[in-house]
Structure 1
Amino acid sequence: MDAILQHYPVVTEIPVAWGEMDALNHVNNVVYFRYFETARLDYFKEAALMDDIKDTGIGPVLSETSARYRLPVTYPDTLLVGSRVTKMEDDRFTMEYEIFSQKMGAITTRGTAQVVMFDFKNNSKAKISPQLRETIEAIEARKELPANA
């Protein structure tokens, strides 16, 4: 597993709950977005992004998300969800996720999200602060580089 999620600086462990399965006896497709949300919030916690909202009134808003399902997940299982930021622009950043099933020993799902910084006081988009940009760059620098890099 270490090698599979080595390019993800934040990894979140999530146990699969029985109630997350649907009539076809696998985790319902909607639940994966909750897994992504949990991983995203763990990443935000690492970046102290949610703390900034209290001080600045500026925080993240999810503007777009997607999932690509590769293998069905079933109960019982424990998932490891890797999250990373792959692109930063002036007012937004793109995140990627991979879900690894410990039971299957494989990646089951990949996802992406577009996160826009939003000024809740003025009800408008906001720029990524230099401090947040620096923090995200530091988090991303923690991921392992390929051996030939």
Structure 2
Amino acid sequence: MKFELPERRKRVHEMTIPIRWGDMDPMGHVNNTLYFRYLEIIRLEWLRALGLTLHSDAQGPLIINAFCTFHRQVEHPGELLARMYVSDPGRSSFESWCTLERTDAPGVITTSGGATMVWTDYAAQKSLPMPDWFRRHVE
């Protein structure tokens, strides 16, 4: 299965994530639910690097849709290189994308995924236009 990122995208964050022994399931590979955790880790690290703190009385991005495609099995031990991209900013929403590849097999994407995110007032549970300072990071 070939994965293609959107042509108009911006890489916003990159990091390595260890593959832990406890991430594996009885089939001997990383359990499919853990990939969403890996995508969450890089997404939250990117937001933290921007200075965002996610509190229930604040504003920030909220996921409204998420997906993950498994291209190759991943087993312990090792590390994953996670790369996050953003695209298609709207009034309050944008798309986020992520690729995962083993650090010992550069260029071979094992997993791809992403999420549609909406800038939200968490307490009011309503979408808001993205603030200009944040929009600069996703355009």
Shift of 1:131: 1.4
Query: In 1, distance between residues paired with 2:12 and 2:132?
Result: 20
* Amino acid corresponding to residue 120 of structure 1 in structure 2: Y
Shift of 1:112: 1.3
**CA displacement, residues 71-110 of structure 1 (integer Å, 9 cap, x when unaligned):** 0000001001000111211111100000011233321000
Shift of 1:35: 0.3
Tell me, what secondary structure is at the counterpart of 1:49?
A: coil
- 1:95 aligned residue: 96
Query: In 1, distance between residues paired with 2:97 and 2:88?
Result: 10
Tell me, what secondary structure is at the counterpart of 1:50?
A: coil
- 1:25 aligns with one of 1, 4, 28: 28
Number of aligned residue pairs: 129
* Amino acid corresponding to residue 28 of structure 1 in structure 2: N
Between 107-116 and 119-128, report the one with greater CA deviation. Answer: 119-128
User: Structure 1: which 5+ residue stretches go unaligned?
Assistant: 1-6, 138-149
- 2:43 aligned residue: 40
Q: Is the 8 A contact 1:78 1:102 kept in 2?
A: yes
- 1:120 aligned residue: 122
Shift of 1:114: 0.8
Shift of 1:36: 0.2
Sequence identity percentage? 27
User: Structure 2: which 5+ residue stretches go unaligned?
Assistant: 1-9
Give the helix-richer structure, 1 or 2.
1
Is 1:111 aligned with 2:113?
yes
* Amino acid corresponding to residue 31 of structure 2 in structure 1: N
TM-align CA RMSD: 1.9
**CA displacement, residues 29-71 of structure 1 (integer Å, 9 cap, x when unaligned):** 00000000001012212322337x69x8211111111011100
Is 1:132 aligned with 2:124?
no
Give the structure-1-normalised TM-score.
Answer: 0.79
Runs of 4+ in 1 over 6 A off after TM superposition: none
Query: In 2, distance between residues paired with 1:101 and 1:72?
Result: 10
Q: Is the 8 A contact 1:49 1:132 kept in 2?
A: no
Query: In 2, distance between residues paired with 1:107 and 1:8?
Result: 16
- 2:13 aligned residue: 10
Tell me, what secondary structure is at the counterpart of 1:12?
A: strand
How does 1:46-61 map onto structure 2 within 5 Å? Answer: 46-50=49-53, 57-61=58-62
